[in-house]
Structure 1
Amino acid sequence: MNNLNQEDALQFLTGVLSVPSVNGTDGERAMAEYLCTYLNSHGIAATLQPIDDRHANVIGRIPGKSDQTVIWNGHLDTVPWGKLDEWDTDPSLPIRLGNRIYARGASDMKSGLAAMAYVCAKMAENHVVPDDTILFLGTCDEEKGGLGAESFLSIAREEHPSFLLIGEPTGCRLGIAQKGCLWLSLSVNGKTSHGANPEEGGNALEGGFEVLRELKCYINSFYHEILGASTMQVTMAEGGIAPNMTPDHARFLADIRIVPALTRDMALHHLRRLCAEYTQKLGGKVTFDIELQNERMGIEIPKEDRRLSQFEEILRSQGLPVEYSGISYFTDASILLRQFTGCPVLLYGPGDPQLCHKPNESVDVRNYLKSLETYRSFYHRD
């Protein structure tokens, strides 16, 4: 494949950033339609996967030399603008200032999405046959419930990918691990009593705080060399009747970010044990109900994986440092792996993870162009 046209690639990125796809506000389907039209116009048999009036995925496929399939994934949606007075530019209109392009989604993750789509289009346009079949997957609703990834799995029963590459923002570092996520709801039932006689009651608020404090100590004990420690914080607490009454009910929400060594079952087992011990200590005056509202598994690619080695070789051949990174937020990979069990995942994209979801979000043009060459080299050798 001939060298990529940098100005053409930047113009395409500007076009992608100009299509509004704010989750919950705009129709993300328009972004899917834009990419589908672009891929089709360059010789890729791309299709829409309609979900509803506002949501759709875009799926394209480039047949390869082998019988293996790899998925190139990026999400179509962005978070809202936030406070407009905190932006120096209009977040809905991409603008280049020096070596950076500013717009909502510039880092998270339309630059990675555009780079993947552009390289796929140029492969097809130049009749390049990649080493493995590439399935380009643009998913909607990643920033909220993962509706796009869930919907893709419903039609992908016959897919058996050998590798999953996600263009999430890593600053052109190799994202070899990501934390999983658990959102816990803990309902606590106690026994009311007069505030002057707390021993006669069962304080639901105190019970919840004590159990969650112990759970946090357990969660924080798990550590990963790239990701750091697992974390937990109580993000909501409600309960109480009056200043002079023991609260007989409370509800807590907790956000837990887990490293790959800590699983959902391990966390829930420990929480159930803590709850049972507290209930026994108070003679049954306080009981607990646990609900898991969201679950995303932790992910790590093996250091010896051949695709990781290929990426390392590509970066070295470009005279670039080989740097590793991990992310604390979740991606569509944690949904896709529910079906594609054991599939290695690598995150690599031009966006800056420190700028995601913030005012004045931008992407370094040099990183965007660098990612194009890296994606191109990954499945094609000139």
Structure 2
Amino acid sequence: MQINFEQVLELAHGYKAAMSNFLRDMVAIPSESRNEKAILDRIRLEMEIVGFDKIEIDPMGNILGYIGTGKHLIAMDAHVDTVGPGNTANWTHDPYQGYADDTNIFGLGTSDQAGGMAAMVYAGKIIKEMGLLSDYTLLVTGTVQEEVCDGLCWQYIIEEDGIRPEFVVCTEPSSGKIRRGQKGRMEIRIQVDGKSAHAAAPELGDNAIFKMGRVLADLEQLASTLKHDPFLGKGTLTVSEIFFTSPSRCAVADSCWISVDRRLTTGETVASAISEINNLPSVLETSATVDLYRYDKPSYTGLVYPTECYFPSWSLEEDHRVCKTLADAYSRLFKKNAEIDNWAFSTNGVAIMGRHNIPCIGFGPGEIDQAHTPDEKVSKQDLVDAAALYAVLPTLYVDSLKA
């Protein structure tokens, strides 16, 4: 199919005000994780206005908007939940105001990730208006609980809704680059047990905190030896929390446990990471237990879909059809070559590609360093560029299958 790329850009620019207003409306609706219903109602309304062919809410609460009925299912995703605003005194403008100037829109979730949602919805409108539908169905998802358990929403979509796209575009902020991978992560709990005694006679007890100290030293050493990948970089390990129990401040601690944030590079798995810790001399000597945390909080619909806190790494080859097609779309629209990199943070790709091996690629409006910060913002021009790119990508992909 012939695509008039200049016309696509012109049309996307013409919808800049509409996208900006939609984004400001979303920002004005508090939507912290597990409290997303109101913002999803607003997204449904906008999908109806622009002419989506079918809109559903699944039992977890994810919104699924469809355009077209072709055989090639292509998905684009934005999570709709946010973190909290933190100390609002650090914000120049009300985080829920959606303050806008000539260039940017400010507010909680503008870049992470309501900007991606606004651009996707208006990409659908561009597709409809320009007749860019070919033999594909575009699925636009607004997903829940990502900030507290990344990928859980897509585990549900794939495993329970039975939806398996040919590929998924993740619209997390990408600073104008194509992102084709990310490190994975694990949330690990390590516990050692001891025996309490009066602090005046500590030799009668078994101090769990002292025992954990030996484990901490070994973990610090392990962190320096983790695997390195040329693209994703080195795996990391850090202790993020420490807890204990003791009868009083005048007693020997009888248990101690820590939380470990483990970032996984290519080739590292849940089994290999747990084994590394289990084989540490201090873990063996103290009979420490090493487990994964589990996430089992209900979504706003009340559905509980428990999972281990293991979020695998993923990377798409640079010469993969999906990556090449997105880079081709970028160069045709913007008359320059795309930069291709990875994300330092975690995304829903951990389930899409990490768990289920569905090709995943990333491009989204906003700068990476804006996520989870006061005065978060997104450029209006980023919305325009992303909407144009999303509008042409499905057709170029289907055309590439015929070449």
Structure 2 partner of 1:356? 371
Superposed displacement of residue 163, structure 1: 0.9
Structure 2 partner of 1:122? 126
Superposed displacement of residue 154, structure 1: 4.9
Structure 1 partner of 2:211? 207
Contact 1:18 1:94 in 2 (8 A): yes
Superposed displacement of residue 15, structure 1: 1.7
Structure 1 partner of 2:348? 332
Find 1:165's aligned residue among 152, 166, 169.
Answer: 169
Structure 1 partner of 2:385? 370
Structure 1 partner of 2:395? 380
Structure 2 partner of 1:295? 310
Contact 1:58 1:139 in 2 (8 A): yes
Contact 1:257 1:328 in 2 (8 A): no
Is 1:323 the counterpart of 2:344? The answer is no
Q: Percent identity?
A: 21
Superposed displacement of residue 199, structure 1: 7.4
Contact 1:88 1:360 in 2 (8 A): yes
1:211–1:95: structure 2 CA closer, same or farther, 3 Å change rule?
Answer: same
Q: Structure 2: any 5+ residue segments left out of the alignment?
A: 294-308
Aligned residues: 370
Secondary structure of the residue aligned to 2:238 is strand
1:226–1:98: structure 2 CA closer, same or farther, 3 Å change rule?
Answer: farther
1:14-93 matches, cutoff 5 A: 14-19=21-26, 20-24=28-32, 27-49=35-57, 51=59, 56-63=61-68, 65=70, 67-93=71-97
1:252–1:26: structure 2 CA closer, same or farther, 3 Å change rule?
Answer: closer
In 1: Cα distance, 2:337 partner to 2:132 partner: 28
Contact 1:18 1:92 in 2 (8 A): no
In 1: Cα distance, 2:359 partner to 2:262 partner: 23
Is 1:234 the counterpart of 2:239? The answer is yes
Structure 2 partner of 1:8? 15
1:231–1:338: structure 2 CA closer, same or farther, 3 Å change rule?
Answer: closer
1:8–1:313: structure 2 CA closer, same or farther, 3 Å change rule?
Answer: closer
Contact 1:36 1:46 in 2 (8 A): no
| Deviations, residues 4-35 of structure 1 (Å, cap 9, x unaligned) | 24242332232233234544488412222222
In 2: Cα distance, 1:224 partner to 1:197 partner: 50
1:165–1:253: structure 2 CA closer, same or farther, 3 Å change rule?
Answer: same
Q: Which moved further from structure 2: 359-368 or 228-237?
A: 228-237
In 2: Cα distance, 1:72 partner to 1:279 partner: 43
| Deviations, residues 229-270 of structure 1 (Å, cap 9, x unaligned) | 222221211226467755331111111222232111110111
Q: Which has the higher contact order (CA 8 A, sep 6+)?
A: 2
TM-score scaled to structure 2, two decimals?
0.82
In 1: Cα distance, 2:311 partner to 2:33 partner: 25
| Deviations, residues 205-236 of structure 1 (Å, cap 9, x unaligned) | 23323334433443452223344322222121
Contact 1:215 1:270 in 2 (8 A): no
| Deviations, residues 339-374 of structure 1 (Å, cap 9, x unaligned) | 6x2211111101111011111101122222221222
TM-score scaled to structure 1, two decimals?
0.86
In 2: Cα distance, 1:201 partner to 1:301 partner: 53
1:95–1:350: structure 2 CA closer, same or farther, 3 Å change rule?
Answer: same
Find 1:267's aligned residue among 246, 256, 273.
Answer: 273
